[in-house]
Amino acid sequence: MTADKHFKRKVRERSRRTGESYTAALRNLRHDTLREPAVHSDPTSQVDPVQWQRVEKPGFGYAAHVPHDWEEYPPNLKNSPFETARFADPADRRHSVIVFRGLPRPGLSAAERAERAQASLEAAGFGDFEITEAEVAGQPGGRLDCVMRDAGRTWAVREYFVGLDDSHFVLGCGSSVPDEDDALFTQIAERFEFLGSPGG
């Protein structure tokens, strides 16, 4: 009975914190509990609690790996003509990923691409910018982090930049709980795949 009471309190706290309905918070907490890794006697063994789905986009030359319960949504070309796909968890709107594919820019490093993206994000109201090196699809790339704060809410954006000879890609990861999504976004970038010549 006590354990049940504690769980209900956790559901109510999550509902208050995230704005989810009680039912959605209950479902997501149960889902999170099921996905928690088992405790092993060997401290070096790690279990990835995320179950992945691979989404191929041969026309754009990539495959993305996202959690199995996320859905794909059509690109919003008003946001950018370079959007190719959006992915999000329909039951949890606290995070999403957008994949952009742009034209080749020979001579521009990933950090320089990130600097150019910073200007447009700054104009949209983001701040606290940080540009660092990152690995994307096994290739050296760049990472841009920034945050928008509005009416007590926070939306953190992390963009990964990586280029090929004939195109460059940006993984735009957004989250209202960036600390919780840090490992997830890192894995999405690491698991990203190039499929060869886009459109070929």
Task: List, for residues 123-149, the tens digit of each pLDDT value.
Answer: 989 999 999 999 999 999 999 999 999
pTM of the model: 0.72
Q: Could you tell me the strand order of the sheet in which 83-89 lies?
A: 71-73, 83-89, 92-102, 168-175, 153-163, 139-150, 127-136
> HSE of 49 in the Cβ direction (CA atoms, 13 Å)?
11
> For residues 118 and 147, is the Cβ–Cβ distance under 8 A?
no
At residue 38 the predicted structure's pLDDT band, cuts being 50, 70 and 90, is very low
d(CA 137, CA 152): 35
154 and 58, same structural domain? yes
Token digits of residue 129: 């910018």
d(CA 123, CA 12): 37
pLDDT of residue 136: 93
85 and 18, same structural domain? no
At residue 34 the predicted structure's pLDDT band, cuts being 50, 70 and 90, is very low
pLDDT of residue 35: 46
Helix (H) or strand (E) holding 123: helix 110-123
65 and 31, same structural domain? no
pLDDT of residue 72: 96
85 and 13, same structural domain? no
The total number of structural domains in the chain stands at 2
Name the amino acid, one letter, at 23: T
- Burial of 184 per CB tally in 10 Å (0-12, 13-18, 19+): middle
Q: What is the mean pLDDT of residues 25-48?
A: 51
In a domain, 199, yes or no: no
Full domain range(s) for residue 73 = 52-194
In a domain, 91, yes or no: yes
Q: What is the mean pLDDT of residues 62-83?
A: 94
Count Cβ neighbours within 10 Å for each residue of 28-61 and write b for 16 or more, e otherwise: bbeeeeeeeeeeeeeeeeeeeeeeeeeeebeebb
pLDDT of residue 45: 44
d(CA 109, CA 138): 16
Q: What is the mean pLDDT of residues 150-167?
A: 87
At 123, give phi and psi (nearest 5°). Answer: -65, -25
Least confident of 33-37, 102-106, 148-152, 196-200: 33-37
User: Has residue 187 got a pLDDT over 90?
Assistant: yes
* Coil, helix or strand at residue 197: coil
User: Has residue 60 got a pLDDT over 60?
Assistant: yes
User: Has residue 197 got a pLDDT over 60?
Assistant: no
At residue 37 the predicted structure's pLDDT band, cuts being 50, 70 and 90, is very low
User: Has residue 14 got a pLDDT over 60?
Assistant: yes
At residue 30 the predicted structure's pLDDT band, cuts being 50, 70 and 90, is low
73 and 16, same structural domain? no
